[in-house]
Structure 1
Amino acid sequence: MKFLLSNDDGYFAPGLAALAQALASQGDVTVVAPERDRSGSSNSLTLDRPLSLKQAASGFHYVNGTPTDCVHLAVTGMLTELPDLVVSGINHGANMGDDTIYSGTVAAATEAYLLGVPAVAISLAKHAPRHFDTAARVAQELVARIQRDPFRGAVLLNVNVPDLPYEALQGWRVTRLGRRHKAEPVIRSQNPRGETIWWVGPLGAAQDAAEDTDFWAVAHGYVSITPLQIDLTAFKQLDFMTDWLA
């Protein structure tokens, strides 16, 4: 099995190293990741300048662009064969609910999905996570299951793992995305020159954390697996808009 790995924390991130080490025993691993932390970059592509592809001493490749750039470059130009699976992560922090809109981790997996390659985004659900070994083992088990029963067509999965020892996990849950309250206000400050600067505020708390959501699963010690789709059409509004325009 051929794996393409990426992330949004940068090619030097310990979560990416843990993921690569875990999957090396299950197939051929190629890593193409951003040269620096690109968290929150969502699905952006770099169109205003060329990209460069370099290789670090670790063997990992890195790109001076976004997570989406990395996967797009690898799948459409660098690799001579399509990977069997793209895995993005292990992210330093959760990507649940509304987070998926902004997440570079999810975006890397989404780009693979749009290019017809099955993809998994995997995140360790704590701001300063410790148990990368747990998330790596979860990734191994998920890949082993895919190898036994391959996906039929392109699939996009968002996986969030509690930051716990593996033995403390309560199991796996298939979930839907929850919802957060709106984000906290931006934070006004000054730089050393006395100029006003603004920091984006912290994320809001979970608003919809019902038992079938990713928020509930992770809070109760379960690995959350959410299948995602990309069609943004508001189907329930099609008839309304048709009547409105009539």
Structure 2
Amino acid sequence: ASRALTLADPVRVRTIDPRRFAITGTPTDCVMLGMTELIEGAKPDLVLSGVNRGANIAEDVTMSGTVAGAIEGMAMGVPSIALSQMGGLHPSDPFFEVAEAFAPGIVKRLIEIGWPKDVVMNLNFPNRPLGEVTEVEVTRQGFRDVQVRHAERRSDLRGRDYYWMGFRQEKSQPADGTDLLALYEGRISVTPLHIDLTHAETVFNMRKVLGGAPPKA
């Protein structure tokens, strides 16, 4: 879903109880409507987006609706955290237990520490039994050295081709300090993210050739 906002279709809200709502739109829709229409009184103190089924790490954060929900909260002036539980390859793998056990304490500690207003926290929990998860690591966003996304061509009963999008279960060789390596090695990853995608070094170098305002002191 990324940061998609529903503009061409109606967004419907179902009230489950006075404090719970179900929304047909995107995660961004949910946060925006929650803050501007559904929650009465002051803004919330915190936005928690997730826990998502599956990790949101490396280059995948740009496609993540979970991270986008946190970014929308940040954009609306509320501290925001995205939470995701790495999935296993087999149905028998443990799931959500790690996030359920560790997320409350980590969230509480992050609130105590605090972070800049233009930053969101991206928490990812490894797919390990509880007893094997012992560390939390503050990481940077990694980038895979293998292409895991692919499209598999199939045919329907009328002989027409269609494509099934998915991910290959291949591990990259990530560098130390990245979100990827932390999860691979069974550590909980905490990555501060911000929405500014500008590459400052390239801006500086291109200004010498194409022009532009000098950086402010």
TM tier, shorter chain?
A: 0.7 to 0.9
User: Residue 91 of structure 1 is aligned with which of 52, 62, 67?
Assistant: 52
1:77-123 Cα offsets, whole Å, 9 max, x none, are 22122111111111111111011011111111111111111111111
Moved more, 191-200 or 41-50: 191-200
Q: CA deviation at 1:202?
A: 1.5
The residue aligned with 1:9 is none
Q: State the Cα RMSD in Å.
A: 2.3
* Secondary structure of the corresponding residue to residue 162 of structure 2: strand
Letter in 1 for 2:187: Y
Q: CA deviation at 1:151?
A: 4.3
Letter in 1 for 2:177: D
1 CA distance for matches of 2:61 and 2:163? 23
2 CA distance for matches of 1:191 and 1:239? 52
Letter in 2 for 1:119: S
For structure 2, the residue ranges without an aligned partner over 5 or more in a row are 212-217
For structure 1, the residue ranges without an aligned partner over 5 or more in a row are 1-40
Please say which structure displays the higher CA radius of gyration.
2
Letter in 2 for 1:222: R
The residue aligned with 2:94 is 130
CA contact (8 A) 2:124 2:189 kept: yes
The residue aligned with 2:108 is 144
User: Residue 11 of structure 2 is aligned with which of 51, 55, 65?
Assistant: 51
2 CA distance for matches of 1:119 and 1:225? 13
1 CA distance for matches of 2:44 and 2:187? 29
The residue aligned with 1:230 is 195
Q: CA deviation at 1:150?
A: 4.4
CA contact (8 A) 2:118 2:194 kept: no
Question: Is 2:174 the counterpart of 1:190?
Answer: no
Sort the Cα spacing of 1:139 and 1:202 in 2 relative to 1 into closer, same or farther, 3 A: same
Question: Is 2:135 the counterpart of 1:174?
Answer: no
The residue aligned with 2:182 is 217
- TM-score by length of structure 1 reads 0.75
* Secondary structure of the corresponding residue to residue 56 of structure 1: strand
- TM-score by length of structure 2 reads 0.84
2 CA distance for matches of 1:189 and 1:213? 36
Aligned residues: 206
1:117-163 Cα offsets, whole Å, 9 max, x none, are 11111111115663323202222102322454444645401111112
